[in-house]
């Protein structure tokens, strides 16, 4: 790609990311290639995009497709812009590398559950986790995404989840970091694949998430 074109693309995406929060985390690799990417020896003035940039551009294409289908997603709610977020729903999740994961949804922090969901790992899934060296951090992050999607697609809770400010309590600091920064350490990791799904889901359902660390003793 011509370096000048990449500069224009990055600038345009930065501008749009002001009202598309899900896209902000998918600019780092593009910025890095713009400034440090290797020149294409066969085409002077061109830069070779790395795997991270190519993957991030795929996320932006997905976000663009969502926006074309429904302009509702070309913006963010007033509630999500507040410096002090008014949390409307509370989610608490947990995960085990040997058993499964789950969580519950409540209207008040430490309040009674209005909905709960869980999943038990199959023998095949446990074998995949071992083969792919999937960490507990990734499984904890998966639990959050899984529960949020279940409740957003459940007719009994979908109306509560739509464009809601949601407080998410988790006892794993790495999973919390994925949640808050919408990015994992490696653009090729299993965790980052989940981050892409998570960011696109945020655009689709309008979630605004407030991450809260919860000591494992109390989870």
Model confidence over 76-88: pLDDT tens digits?
A: 666 666 667 789 9
CA distance 214 to 171: 5
Rg of the Cα atoms in the chain: 19
According to DSSP, the residues that pair with 90 across neighbouring strands are: 106, 167
Average pLDDT over residues 54-81: 78
- Look at residue 149 and tell me whether its pLDDT is greater than 80: yes
**DSSP state at residue 168:** E
| Percent of the chain whose predicted confidence (pLDDT) is above 90 | 33
- The residues, any chain, with a CB within 8 Å of residue 5's CB and separated by 6 or more, are none
Q: Give the confidence band of 218 by pLDDT, cuts at 50, 70, 90.
A: confident
Q: Is the pLDDT of residue 185 over 60?
A: no
CB-based burial, 15-42: b 16+ in 10 Å, e otherwise? ebbeebbbbbbbbebbeebbeebeeeee
What is the residue-averaged pLDDT of the chain?
85
128: Cβ–Cβ under 8 A, 6 or more apart, which residues? 134
* Percent of the chain predicted with pLDDT > 70: 88
Which residues lie across from 213 on neighbouring strands?
170
Q: So what's the pLDDT on residue 187?
A: 58
What integer pLDDT is reported at residue 186 of this predicted model?
Answer: 58
Question: Max alpha carbon distance in the chain (Å)?
Answer: 63
> d(Cα 3, Cα 192) in Å, to the nearest integer?
26
């Amino acid at each position: 790609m011509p370096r000048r074109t990449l500069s224009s693309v990055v600038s345009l995406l930065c501008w749009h990311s002001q009202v598309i929060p899900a896209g902000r985390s998918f600019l780092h690799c593009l910025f890095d290639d713009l400034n440090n990417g290797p020149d294409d020896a066969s085409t002077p003035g061109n830069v070779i995009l790395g795997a991270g940039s190519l993957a991030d551009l795929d996320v932006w294409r997905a976000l663009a497709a969502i926006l074309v289908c429904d302009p509702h997603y070309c913006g963010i709610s007033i509630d999500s812009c507040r410096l002090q977020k008014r949390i409307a729903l509370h989610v608490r999740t947990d995960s085990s590398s040997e058993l499964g994961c789950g969580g519950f949804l409540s209207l008040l922090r430490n309040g009674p559950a209005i909905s709960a969901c869980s999943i038990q790992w199959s023998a095949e899934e446990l074998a995949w986790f071992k083969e792919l060296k999937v960490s507990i951090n990734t499984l904890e992050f998966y639990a959050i995404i899984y529960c949020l999607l279940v409740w957003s697609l459940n007719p009994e809770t979908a109306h509560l989840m739509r464009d809601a400010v949601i407080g998410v309590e988790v006892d794993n600091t790495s999973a919390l970091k994925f949640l808050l920064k919408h990015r994992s350490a490696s653009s090729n990791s299993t965790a980052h694949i989940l981050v892409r799904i998570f960011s696109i889901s945020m655009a689709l359902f309008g979630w605004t998430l407030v991450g809260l660390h919860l000591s494992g003793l109390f989870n």
